[in-house]
Amino acid sequence: MIYKNTNAIIGKNYPVVIVGSGPAGISLALKLEEKKIKTLILEAGSDDYSEKSQEFYKSKIFGDEITDLRSSRLRQFGGTSGLWGGWSKPMENYNLSEWGIQHHELDNYSDQTSKILDINNTFKKSNINKYFNQIEFQYSKVRFNEKFRDHISKSNYIDLLMNAQVLKFSGEESVTKKVEFLFHGQRFKISSAFFVLASGGIENSRILLYTKQQNNLLKNNSSIGMYWMTHPWFLGGYGVLKKKKLSEYLGINFIDRDGPLHIASSEILKKEKKIMSGSIYMDAKENKNIVKEIVKDLLCVAPNFGKKVTRSIFKKDLKCGNIFMHLEEAPNKNNRITLDDKIKDGNGIPISNLYYKKSIDTLISAKTILKEFANICRNLDIGRVALQKSIDDLNNYDSLGVYHHIGGTRIGVDLKNSVVDYNLKVHNNKNLYVSGSSVFPTSGYTNPTFTIVQLSLRLGDHISKIL
């Protein structure tokens, strides 16, 4: 059921209380519903977008500029799925191994994740050489509030309360007893056997930090908010690619579909060159605004290939345009979330301070990936690649936006650099869990939503076994 007042939930027995109604929270509730376990979801926002509600994401940024959190997150039913691009793909197995999680532990949930996201559970990979693979994304159009509103409103096992701003958790020693929230200015507390924080890549850390500030429940968790990261997303250069020739080279393994052409670095490239993983993509259609400039440059520096390019234009075989990149970012404990000492939001809770600096490792990785890809294009005579000068010189990259919020409550075994264990349970706590991209110890290059849903479904099975 979906509620807009507290009368119906106060006094009810909920074995599990979930904070947040985004992909992580709803996916978990759906899994627990399968097991006939009743849950309560507390959502800070309302059913629709509200500028007033978005103001609660106001924060202070120190270091390099990132996208305003009021624009990159949605504080409403369905969470940030209301504005995501829909790119979906599982995390690479070699990235997961760095987490201490075997890939089959998440692969078991790929079918259900794909069903939730309304996509096909097929993610082809074609080997180009030892350094690169052509890869496939699926594109989801799911908005969680739209898809699951009717389901939740009729559910006998999922209750959802709107406009319930969670403030903190409380308890004794290592046991979480209650969650405290504000509803239209009035404070309420709900007891439960299990609590799951699924409020996003900033709010998860913020709520835990405020809990730690207000009581002793998390006093030994010194890593909350640390190792925050994102997926650097930027224009790496431009180039030309003869799609037909690449198709002939890959044969039946060529992934021919609408949308951008995706190429990803391999585990071998990452290990041999000691870089972070990454992916590059080019639009499948020519960018006519820059074709003439690219051809002119090519005719100057590579006359023979420039002539081939000119002929290809008339044959409609040329893919010519910008080369965009998504990169894994190196974990850095100095990139972190803290609570502001003075400024508070409308509910009297300190706003977030986000400390973030770009890494030279990102530039080195981008340059290495682009140069190696350029070598392939030249050696196979399928295209040419030019790097952005600022990247070639290792000076800087111009961010196209920071929308993936990762880390802050990382998976691990050591309290010095992690917050939750492999089952997403907060260290030194028996019944408080965290779900979402904030638990990722590394980012990989893949968009996070598919993995977020997999982890939440896995967590649902874990909790149901204990119950």
Instruction: Answer whether residue 439 is part of any domain.
Output: yes
Residue 17 lies in a domain: yes
Give per-residue pLDDT as tens, 129-158.
999 999 999 999 999 999 999 999 999 999
Query: Which pLDDT tens digit goes with each residue over 208-267?
Result: 999 999 999 998 899 999 999 999 999 998 888 888 889 999 999 999 877 788 999 999
* Closest to 122 in 3D by CA, of 131, 132, 135, 133: 135
Report the C-alpha gap between 454 and 121 in whole angstroms.
12
pLDDT exceeds 90 at position 457: yes
Query: What are the DSSP calls for 308-319, one per residue?
Result: HHHHHHHHT-EE
- pLDDT tens digit sequence for 329-388: 999 999 999 999 999 999 999 999 999 999 999 999 999 999 999 999 999 988 888 899
Q: What whole-number distance in Å separates Cα of residue 209 and Cα of residue 206?
A: 5
Residue 100 CA to residue 95 CA, distance in Å, equals 9
Say if 286 falls within a structural domain. Answer: no
In a domain, 236, yes or no: no
Q: Phi/psi at 2 (nearest 5 deg)?
A: -110, 125
pLDDT score recorded for residue 316: 43
The confidence score (pLDDT) of residue 370 equals 96
For the full predicted model, state whether its pTM sits above 0.85: yes
Tell me the two tokens of residue 104: 């089959």
Q: How sure is the predictor about 295, in pLDDT bands with cuts at 50, 70 and 90?
A: low
Measure CA 18 to chain center.
Answer: 19
pLDDT confidence band for 97 (50 / 70 / 90): confident
pLDDT in tens, 13-62: 999 999 999 999 999 999 999 999 999 999 999 988 888 888 989 999 99
SS3 117: helix
Structure tokens at 430: 């028996």
Residue 151 lies in domain: 2-92+143-229+334-356+405-466
pLDDT greater than 70 at residue 284: no
Q: What is the largest CA-CA distance in the chain?
A: 78
Residue 272 lies in a domain: no
Enumerate the H helices of 251-381 as residue ranges.
Answer: 267-273, 288-301, 303-315, 360-379
Tokens standing for residue 109 = 């949930």
Number of domains in the chain: 1
In a domain, 242, yes or no: no
Q: What's 43's domain CATH number?
A: 3.50.50.60
Q: Is residue 60 part of a domain?
A: yes
Which amino acid is it at 388?
Answer: Q
299 lies in some domain: no
Residue 170 has pLDDT above 70, yes or no: yes
pLDDT band for position 107 (cuts 50, 70, 90) = very high
Q: Among positive and negative, which fits the CA dihedral 114, 119, 124, 125?
A: negative
